[in-house]
Structure 1
């Protein structure tokens, strides 16, 4: 009780989540009357980040930095425009298709929204789209970042759940493609009454030139996903090779990256990675405290009175995580809930930990787009000036499409396990 109270009080006054986790753990040890537990505090934190798989996090972040500085984003958007831009509502489809390709490089929802909102929203507004809709669509397209590999949240989960990072990353590929298809279906339905404009026409020669110019940039996701799928590399090795490929493409193909820019990119990647890794270390001590206090066992006893089978349990988890995701960002929410819910899922209901992880990550990512926090909406608003409240209302159909995907994943685990093994 003291641990939970300390955590929520600290969080409400604006203390960073990682510090909240550490201080709440200290409060628990102090209240336990066993000061010897303090001797395990630092070793538990160190053990939380003593994982080879976590090395992929700064590497994936570095790929995003190189991609931004190397002009790769612009070429991917141009390629998507050449493929689907001529359709009715073409720019809306371009937004989704480009985000699907870019998410296979960035792996971060907020970073993806910040980049794509600058690129896509002004162009959509110029061609007659409502700015609020354009910004909201870009925010929802950012959901693909933590789902389609690579994904920082999947890496964090795989370390917490002690499952192979490579399997976890591959598990997000099919759900990510399904979500893209569902979002495209929503655009087609909304077009019936919104009457979206057609994109600018391009002849076949122009399309071919644009696609050929962008194809080398696709080497990055092909190297990352292909090396993992074929077993030639694990996630960390694939991230290293992907980083090298991004540097070479940015320097010698797009010619917009200078080697002099790399030190600054490395520093920015290191700072962001340090924040994420300290959060993982704080989660390790918090998880240890929860296990010591037998919190998962107490929650399991209650859950079994409500959910009688795995599907019912997963539906209950969807509701719980969606509520948590509306108030707490994705990675902290993952860190807070996995130590409690995962043992129940695997030991009581026999649910595959990879399947559970996919559902958990998508739920908490959807929290990026739900009030009161709605971080992706705030990012899109900061870049474009669109109103957050109206953005949420205009894009509600996309919210229901994401909920439909969660329902399908909860009932059919094979959708997330198809490529995992």
Structure 2
């Protein structure tokens, strides 16, 4: 009956946080073990009682300040300097700028919204098809879950009890690999569609782009460098990135006024509050799942199917592709990790870092696939292109992502090599 309640609430479009919290409450009431209600508030609070979760609102704040303060536009100009002269130059610029933004924002949905406003109109003016322009921007959002910092990595680190900094490092090589596969997809599509050849900036334009872009590039360097060098935790790096974005937008670029700060802070608080509510509700739901010994039952069922770690990860990828199509990535992550992680590490001896990267990237694919496909609708609302046409243009990038996932599942060193585990 609990499963029926969960499905009905989900199909009724009830917010996912309420779905999880109400389903857990229904289970307790239906089981007759009402003494569990006394632990309900404790489980809600316990799910969010983690220092690492402070990084989420701080990374969100850094992204908002960058967009308001003109930092995003300077990063795009810097990307133009690097790849703007190739055929389909603006497509490459879009992707490189997305890679830079992924190293700051950490949220795929936020990145798609920000970059759609910044890049799609410019690509249209130079003769690119609107759905294709929106598709590249949406595909760039797939880099957010694995290029550090990553909101999903923060959550996975908290749930799996592994160092968040090491999760970030584990995502560097997979992020570069995924970016390279997207470059290949753009090159192939550009040749087939004969998109216009870009123009390299002139000497003066290049100097101006470097002069204004290098300070903007300091923000991802602060985040990644601080973590890699061990001088700052992910949370401290997020705070430093927010401070750098504020100073650059206010003092250097002069586009961020003090009057904009209340709006920026309010938007950050609302968005972060939604995520934290979801984490709290999913914590209660996960408690019920553990109480019912679902991880043990799932372990027995999967062990009967295969004993090969690679095949197990392929099964996980296939299952989570379906889950991600229906349930929000953050909620799905909190639901599946307590069930699947013990199986991966204990039954198949899979590194939690490899498992985390594969799971996070697989789940975020659901952001761009029907029937829910929130990322498709974000890109559509920002650009006016049809979600179905965007999805068709996305197919080469989705195939590239699937190929990358299979490679990550096959070769553990791609995720564990930089952390030495």
TM-score by length of 1: 0.97
Q: Which residue of 2 aligns with 1:264?
A: 263
Q: Which residue of 2 aligns with 1:193?
A: 192
- Rounded to whole Å, the distance in 1 between the matches of 2:353 and 2:5 is 31
- Rounded to whole Å, the distance in 1 between the matches of 2:191 and 2:65 is 40
Asked if 2 retains the 8 angstrom alpha-carbon contact of 1:324 and 1:333, the reply is yes
Asked if 1 retains the 8 angstrom alpha-carbon contact of 2:62 and 2:241, the reply is yes
Question: How far off its partner does 1:191 sit?
Answer: 2.2
Q: Which residue of 1 aligns with 2:343?
A: 344
For residues 254-309 of structure 1, give each alpha carbon's deviation from its aligned partner in whole angstroms, at most 9, with x where no partner exists: 11112332233222211111111111111111111111101111111111111221
Asked if 2 retains the 8 angstrom alpha-carbon contact of 1:75 and 1:214, the reply is yes
- Rounded to whole Å, the distance in 1 between the matches of 2:356 and 2:368 is 19
Asked if 2 retains the 8 angstrom alpha-carbon contact of 1:154 and 1:168, the reply is yes
For residues 337-366 of structure 1, give each alpha carbon's deviation from its aligned partner in whole angstroms, at most 9, with x where no partner exists: 112111211121111112111101100111
Residue pairs, 1:259-338, within 5 angstroms: 259-338=258-337
- Rounded to whole Å, the distance in 1 between the matches of 2:285 and 2:292 is 11
- Rounded to whole Å, the distance in 2 between the matches of 1:349 and 1:363 is 19
Bigger mean CA offset, 385-394 vs 41-50: 385-394
Question: How far off its partner does 1:417 sit?
Answer: 1.8
Bigger mean CA offset, 168-177 vs 129-138: 168-177
Question: How far off its partner does 1:202 sit?
Answer: 2.2
Name structure 2 gaps, 5 residues minimum: none
For residues 374-414 of structure 1, give each alpha carbon's deviation from its aligned partner in whole angstroms, at most 9, with x where no partner exists: 21111111111111112212221111100010001001111
Q: Which residue of 2 aligns with 1:409?
A: 408
Bigger mean CA offset, 257-266 vs 159-168: 257-266
Question: How far off its partner does 1:104 sit?
Answer: 0.8
Q: Which residue of 2 aligns with 1:56?
A: 55
For residues 141-196 of structure 1, give each alpha carbon's deviation from its aligned partner in whole angstroms, at most 9, with x where no partner exists: 11112221111111111111111111112222211111111000111122222111
TM-score by length of 2: 0.97
Structure 2 residue matching 1:158: 3-state secondary structure: helix
Question: How far off its partner does 1:32 sit?
Answer: 2.2
Total equivalences in the alignment: 420
Q: Which residue of 2 aligns with 1:134?
A: 133
Q: Which residue of 1 aligns with 2:4?
A: 5
For residues 306-352 of structure 1, give each alpha carbon's deviation from its aligned partner in whole angstroms, at most 9, with x where no partner exists: 12211110010000011111122211111221121112111211111
For residues 43-65 of structure 1, give each alpha carbon's deviation from its aligned partner in whole angstroms, at most 9, with x where no partner exists: 11111111010111111111011
- Rounded to whole Å, the distance in 1 between the matches of 2:350 and 2:308 is 10
1:74 aligns with 2:109: no
Residue pairs, 1:221-232, within 5 angstroms: 221-232=220-231
- Cα RMSD of the aligned pairs, angstroms, is 1.3
Structure 2 residue matching 1:326: 3-state secondary structure: helix
For residues 84-142 of structure 1, give each alpha carbon's deviation from its aligned partner in whole angstroms, at most 9, with x where no partner exists: 11111111100100100011111111111111111211111111111111111111111
- Rounded to whole Å, the distance in 2 between the matches of 1:294 and 1:122 is 51
Name structure 1 gaps, 5 residues minimum: none
Q: Which residue of 2 aligns with 1:173?
A: 172
Q: Which residue of 2 aligns with 1:389?
A: 388
Structure 1 residue matching 2:326: 3-state secondary structure: coil
- Rounded to whole Å, the distance in 2 between the matches of 1:364 and 1:347 is 22
Asked if 1 retains the 8 angstrom alpha-carbon contact of 2:131 and 2:390, the reply is yes
Asked if 2 retains the 8 angstrom alpha-carbon contact of 1:307 and 1:316, the reply is no
Structure 2 residue matching 1:394: 3-state secondary structure: helix
- Rounded to whole Å, the distance in 2 between the matches of 1:395 and 1:45 is 38
Q: Which residue of 1 aligns with 2:22?
A: 23
1:363 aligns with 2:371: no
Moved beyond 3 Å, runs of 4+ = none
Asked if 1 retains the 8 angstrom alpha-carbon contact of 2:86 and 2:199, the reply is no
- Rounded to whole Å, the distance in 2 between the matches of 1:254 and 1:418 is 39
Q: Which residue of 2 aligns with 1:249?
A: 248
Question: How far off its partner does 1:201 sit?
Answer: 3.7
- Rounded to whole Å, the distance in 2 between the matches of 1:267 and 1:417 is 38
